[in-house]
């Protein structure tokens, strides 16, 4: 049996960061299975997948070592540990609209999704009763200061040992730093057939452009708003007589099912992101 960890390193770029991290993991008898890094405007971000044979992992030593390295480098260095037998735990971010949260709760409850819902985080209190009814911890964050909001969200997700994140109509833009904490592990549902009509008014844009086919897109979140690798899409025909509220209602019926489908595909471990495109493997 193997143990796995996703290591994220975020901070101001400096020489030797990759060497320091990989040398430490080598000393801790880890096997490095994948590594991705980038530097944007002086900001260094790295995600690394490491594995250990069961008896080779000294988790306290690894965690203490990363804490020490983070202090020395002046960077955020984190590791999320999992094992092949461990069920995935998902965090749900929401704002005010209930339909996607309701659908996810139902899918987790009836085991359509082979994972556990761990926590609900929101920038409003509107959906707190829904989370409470489902027995899910609910955390309200004002998000007036994005940096502080994201920092607290990461802390809460870590506290609940979250492996992946679902944006169930969460109406806030996430920073690249937050996204790198969960590289290819944040799944969003967007109300249009991307790449058309990004942004918060997608249904209105579709209505104003007189499109004949509209729909929704579930995708991994990346550094660019509404441009992440596409996992699943659904569409419906726009009849000439349909009003904007009718288009919105038709789209919302698909949002939940498409988000659940995307999460199911993710959990099936049959997805690979290659050069910005999602492939089933």
Residues tagged active-site:
226
Q: Collect contacts of 245-253 with beta carbons under 8 A, ≥24 apart.
A: 247/203, 247/206, 247/207, 247/214, 248/191, 248/203, 250/214, 251/191, 251/203, 251/214, 251/215, 251/216, 252/97, 252/99, 252/191
Helix (H) or strand (E) holding 32, with range, is strand 31-40
CA-nearest of 211, 218, 148 to 186 is: 218
Whether the upstream peptide bond of residue 184 has omega within 30° of 0, thus cis, is no
CA-nearest of 56, 49, 45 to 17 is: 45
What angle, 0 to 180 degrees and rounded to 10, lies between the N-to-C axes of helices 244-267 and 99-109? 30
Give the CA radius of gyration of the chain: 20
| DSSP notation for 120-147 | EEESSSTTHHHHHHTT--EEE---SSHH
CA-to-CA separations, 191 to 60, 124, 204, 218, 234, in angstroms, rounded: 44, 20, 10, 9, 10
Contact predicate 86/116, CB 8 Å: no
């Amino acid at each position: 049996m193997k143990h796995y960890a996703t290591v994220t390193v975020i901070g101001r770029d400096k020489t030797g960061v990759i060497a320091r991290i990989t040398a430490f993991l080598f000393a801790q008898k880890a096997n490095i299975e994948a590594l991705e890094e980038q530097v944007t405007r002086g900001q260094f971000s790295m995600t690394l997948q490491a594995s250990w044979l069961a008896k080779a992992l000294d988790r306290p030593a690894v965690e203490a070592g990363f804490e020490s390295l983070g202090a020395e480098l002046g960077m955020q260095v984190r590791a999320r540990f999992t094992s092949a037998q461990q069920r995935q735990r998902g965090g749900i971010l929401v704002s005010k609209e209930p339909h996607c949260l309701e659908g996810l709760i139902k899918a987790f409850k009836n085991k359509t999704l082979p994972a556990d819902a761990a926590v609900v985080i929101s920038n409003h209190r509107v959906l707190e009763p829904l989370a409470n009814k489902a027995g899910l911890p609910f955390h309200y964050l004002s998000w007036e200061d994005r940096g502080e909001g994201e920092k607290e969200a990461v802390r809460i997700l870590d506290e609940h040992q979250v492996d992946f994140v679902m944006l169930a109509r969460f109406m806030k833009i996430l920073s690249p730093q937050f996204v790198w904490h969960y590289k290819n592990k944040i799944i969003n549902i967007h109300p249009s057939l991307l790449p058309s009509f990004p942004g918060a008014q997608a249904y209105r844009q579709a209505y104003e452009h007189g499109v004949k086919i509209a729909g929704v897109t579930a995708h991994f979140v990346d550094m660019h708003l509404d441009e992440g690798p596409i996992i699943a899409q659904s569409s419906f025909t726009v009849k000439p007589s349909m009003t904007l509220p009718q288009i919105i209602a038709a789209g919302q019926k698909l949002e939940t099912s498409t988000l659940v489908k995307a999460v199911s595909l993710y959990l099936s471990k049959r997805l690979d992101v290659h050069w910005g495109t999602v492939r089933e493997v």
